[in-house]
Amino acid sequence: MPQNRLALAWERLQALQRFWQAHPRLRLALNLSLTAGLLAFVVWFFWKDMRQVLTEEITFSPPHLAGALLLYGLNFVLFIIAWRSIVARLGGPAGWRYNALRYANTSLARFLPTPAWFLASRVQGYARPGLGRRAALAMTALETLLHLWTGAVFYGVLAVDPQRPLTWLYLLLLVPVAAVLWRPTWLNLAWMSGGPVQPGVRRRDVALWLSLYTLTWVLAGPFFLWTIQAFSTVAPLPLPDLWRVWALSGVVSYLSSYTLGGLGFLREFALTWLLARYYPTPVALLIALVVRLVLTGAGLAWGVGLDWLIWQT
């Protein structure tokens, strides 16, 4: 029964994705509407906060930027370790070199509009070892689901406030985590792969993946902090606040990418909106744009760099 419900949910998600892919004008209209809305939001508060914004000094700190880039690289390695393990347990090749190379190559497709290019690169990248299209998509779906859910749980745990009883409901996000630890075979996604999966997912595999992906969210806090400090002298937020902002905007990014046809702009919108609680809106927007530039630059640099390094060895 749970697998049937998951299959139905996946079919509905695919139908929604196909709908957005088939209506580029609607996608464009929504993108333009969101852009106009964000600009109106910024302009509305810009004049009110103009005096404070003009007093801010925009600087550049190479040590902080270098630290942020190194943390991005560490997270990149953690993603590769988790990805290689997922591929091996769901019936794909277990070689480190092959999987690291495929991950580095396909990660570059994340920067293209819509997730279709990324999914296509995953399917193409694993066609050589004989994996079917559905198997490659199942592995990618499992990777996405695990990282998305660990981010939601990470945010939920940080959002619990003992003084506000309703916030304890966030801990219900731990129920699916306990469920897959109890029945790890649910993550085989055989219904999506199109057949039995060998060797299959074990409990220790699930524990490893959850630990690795949670660690990526933990490291995102210092990355976010150093990125802000690299280009601005605004007072840094405490790490718990940075973690909450980053995790929530990351979850929004995942949901928008796979349901709204790749509206990556929603991440910047969410980041700006969340940061506006702590900074003037123009400053929040500037931080969101700087974060996007650093993420893009670091992603391209580490993807291309690792690709080149593997080919040289």
Q: Inform me whether the pLDDT recorded for 262 exceeds 50.
A: no
pLDDT of residue 205: 96
Q: Inform me whether the pLDDT recorded for 172 exceeds 70.
A: yes
Mean pLDDT of 297-313: 87
Q: pLDDT tens digits, residue range 121-131?
A: 888 888 776 77
What is the band of 57 on the pLDDT scale with cuts at 50, 70, 90? low
The DSSP 8-state label assigned to residue 95 in this structure reads -
Higher pLDDT, 5 or 263: 5
The answer to whether the CB of 199 falls within 8 A of the CB of 85 is no
pLDDT of residue 73: 96
pLDDT of residue 261: 47
What is the band of 258 on the pLDDT scale with cuts at 50, 70, 90? low
Mean pLDDT of 30-34: 61
Q: pLDDT tens digits, residue range 181-208?
A: 999 999 998 888 877 888 999 999 999 9
Q: pLDDT tens digits, residue range 218-248?
A: 999 999 999 999 987 777 899 999 999 999 9
pLDDT of residue 11: 65
Strand partners, 161: 164
Q: Inform me whether the pLDDT recorded for 211 exceeds 80.
A: yes
Mean pLDDT of 72-79: 96
Mean pLDDT of 75-93: 95
Higher pLDDT, 132 or 265: 132
Mean pLDDT of 58-79: 92
Q: pLDDT tens digits, residue range 95-104?
A: 999 999 999 9
Q: Inform me whether the pLDDT recorded for 50 exceeds 60.
A: no
